[in-house]
């Protein structure tokens, strides 16, 4: 195969070359510039069907974040908007409310017959709450006005798993044998739920 290598260079090699491993900057660190540490759109977007929208600034949006172990998100809530139960597989989240109020909670990990406890708080403007790494958590705007939160996450690529979507809306679907047994419902209910999420999974 003989071909133009500019794609190769621009799309595969340079992005890799931009990677720092544990603080070791490659030679072309001389080409780093302010833009590599900048992103200009942490703005509200269009709420999804649950009335919320998450804008996450991670290493895909700011390449200079790589290996630095942090990212930042803005979450906007319409009245009665919900950021539904989800986890970040690689990050703890610390969140503050900058507008409105949010009812928030997380469920602890199962531990020797204990754990599996729900911890909740009603957060007002200026309140701060922590969602420890990997735990299922949610934020809910119970009020008639908008709410806005800013959150820090302890990874440059925290990931997000929306429980309902991952369980009932994955591509390909999880076998309904598995889900019926796990959720203790009949397969028809599972199939109906999966149909919901297949159709609407445009979060």
22 marked among binding-site residues: no
Q: Is the peptide bond before 159 cis (omega within 30 degrees of 0)?
A: no
- Return the closest-CA partner of residue 147 out of 95, 109, 87, 90: 95
Strand partners, 73: 56, 151
Of 47, 48, 70, 146, the residue at the interface with its own copies (CB under 8 A) is: 70
Residue 16 to residue 38: CA distance in whole angstroms: 19
Identify residues 97-126 at the interface with its own copies (CB under 8 A): 98, 103, 105-112, 114, 116-121, 124, 126
Residue 131 to residue 181: CA distance in whole angstroms: 29
The 21-50 site mask, x for binding its own copies (CB under 8 A), equals xxxxxxx-xx-xxx--xxxxxxx------x
Q: How far is the CB of 202 from its own copies (least distance, A)?
A: 9
Q: Does 18 bind its own copies (CB under 8 A)?
A: no
Burial class (CB in 10 A: 0-12, 13-18, 19+), 115: exposed
Q: Based on CB atoms, which residue is closest to its own copies, 134 or 145?
A: 134
144 marked among binding-site residues: no
Binding site residue list: 83, 86, 88, 93, 137
Can you say which residues are annotated as belonging to the binding site for oxalate?
83, 88, 93
Annotated binding site for Mn(2+): 86, 88, 93, 137
């Amino acid at each position: 195969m003989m071909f133009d290598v500019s794609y190769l260079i621009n799309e595969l090699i340079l992005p890799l070359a931009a990677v720092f491993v544990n603080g070791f900057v490659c030679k072309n660190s001389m080409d780093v510039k302010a833009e590599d540490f900048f992103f200009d759109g942490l703005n509200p977007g269009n709420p999804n069907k649950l009335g919320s929208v998450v804008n996450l600034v991670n290493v895909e949006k700011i390449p200079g974040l790589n290996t630095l172990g942090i990212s930042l998100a803005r979450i906007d809530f319409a009245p009665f908007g919900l950021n539904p139960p989800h986890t970040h597989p690689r990050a703890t989240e610390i969140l503050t409310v900058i507008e409105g109020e949010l009812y928030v909670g997380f469920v602890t990990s199962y531990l020797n017959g204990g754990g599996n406890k729900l911890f909740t708080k009603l957060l007002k403007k200026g309140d701060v709450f922590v969602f420890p790494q990997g735990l299922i958590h949610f934020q809910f705007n119970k009020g008639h006005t908008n709410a806005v939160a800013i959150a820090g996450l302890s990874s440059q690529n925290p990931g997000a798993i929306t429980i309902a979507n991952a369980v009932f809306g994955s591509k390909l679907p999880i076998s309904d044998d598995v889900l019926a047994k796990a959720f203790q419902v009949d397969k028809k209910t599972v199939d109906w739920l999966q149909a919901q999420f297949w159709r609407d999974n445009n979060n």
